[in-house]
Structure 1
């Protein structure tokens, strides 16, 4: 009887001892005035944490980015567009760049492509494409189809084309080699533009998507799934098929 009780006790505590969540950090705290990061951040956090292997922390003070220890995190999610060249500043950028080059994962959300304009050339090398204010920004807000262009990539394998109400960005510029995994066709100029793409930088992985203007856009199930899968991939983990919404 005693032996049985001991075995039951060990079975009960083993999951808690054996399970260690993979930590992800969302960095936010500033954005274009039409992007309400205070509302979208919880939606993004919840979408990522559908995969119960992931534990998401939030840093909403950009002044602290440069001094934050990123080493415990498998991926960092950029959900900000800074307007002050000194916040998070060059030191903040260098911290992110070093983190990725050493093997950390990086995820960019929507207008994060417009961050770090003060070191735009280096930022482009890190994230593949950046906002160019000289280009047309986006189609009028409204419905469009996102088409999956790589059905074999771990992020998009098994996903189908989907509809969303969002801003179809046409403002990305850059010469760095990227691998688009989802595109959308503009109703204005009838050209295809990347909605999600990936690249590797040093030892790290970068997942970059321009979807997610507001709570409604981020709440589209396929958009949430894309960000969850993108974060999992950037973190160097295998996809958890059971976590799909």
Structure 2
């Protein structure tokens, strides 16, 4: 009997100790919506910043129509933006673009970014976009915007960099930390140092335009350990990533820019390589970067708050 009481006492003490060590936090939370809403019109009296998403074509692995809808809904819900989407920018003009405070590019000219054949805008549309930004318009270059343009020097200079199938690559991890290297910039101020991505692309060895003046806000590390066949799956054949071949790969075990800003004439450019699909757009650190980056590109200032899950927090007990 005494042994039984002793056991009960020990169990109770252990439970109490465990309860003391484990802090249960209750937060105001509900799961993300899985059915996408259609953004409703905005009252013009609200005088929101006007955003034009240029889309209409993308590569086979991108749900660009779904992403456009999520971006539009995210921006509308912030109460800072009024968003339109065009899928026919081939007929774009400077007069059309000047009706907006900022343009967001969610476009890729190729079905597969290594394809030789591509569908690009008309020369007049390209020139309108360049002039719009050069004269002070804001630009957000989003994710697949970097999978083309390697053979269009001025477009590459506009967004800062492009993927080059000869040397660039998509690193294997679908979930990886992104480190904010400048936390004093208006876009990143108040954010925690590391953010996570899910089902996303880490672009490495991008070809940067030599005459683009880029200020890096965030990087990701391309770790050789991530190419272990047990982790990568069949998309990355083991024979192509032996230890010897990994050592010879350019940019392995190095940090690579993922988010940056640049000036283009009088305009501001916010470039974010992250945002592969609707999965990554459910997470507040990504949402914070997109919302605040778009506002900065449009105005040069940031008034939107850092969303709760992206906020900096004390790391000392």
Shorter-chain TM band = 0.7 to 0.9
TM-score, scaled to structure 2:
0.67
The yes-or-no answer on 1:127 pairing with 2:159 is: yes
TM-score, scaled to structure 1:
0.86
**Deviation, structure 1 residue 18:** 6.1
The yes-or-no answer on 1:49 pairing with 2:91 is: no
2:259, 2:218 → 1: CA distance?
Answer: 5
Q: Secondary structure at the match of 1:26?
A: strand
- Structure 1 residues 97 and 171, CA gap change in structure 2 (3 angstroms): same
**Deviation, structure 1 residue 61:** 2.2
**Match runs of 1:1-245 below 5 Å:** 19-66=46-93, 69-83=96-110, 87-118=120-151, 120-160=152-192, 161-165=194-198, 166-174=200-208, 175=210, 176-188=212-224, 189-242=252-305, 244=307
2:95, 2:56 → 1: CA distance?
Answer: 15
Q: Secondary structure at the match of 2:170?
A: coil
CA contact (8 A) 2:291 2:304 kept: no
Point out 4+ residue stretches in structure 1 off by more than 2 angstroms: 16-19, 46-51, 61-68, 83-87, 114-118, 240-245
CA contact (8 A) 1:49 1:228 kept: no
Count, aligned residues: 229
Q: Which runs of 5+ in 2 are unaligned?
A: 1-42, 111-116, 225-251, 309-317
Bigger relative contact order, structure 1 or 2 (CA pairs below 8 A, ≥6 apart): 1
- Structure 1 residues 60 and 129, CA gap change in structure 2 (3 angstroms): same
Moved more, 142-151 or 232-241: 232-241
- Structure 1 residues 126 and 172, CA gap change in structure 2 (3 angstroms): same
Q: What CA RMSD, in Å, does the superposition of the two structures yield over aligned residues?
A: 2.1
Q: Which runs of 5+ in 1 are unaligned?
A: 1-15
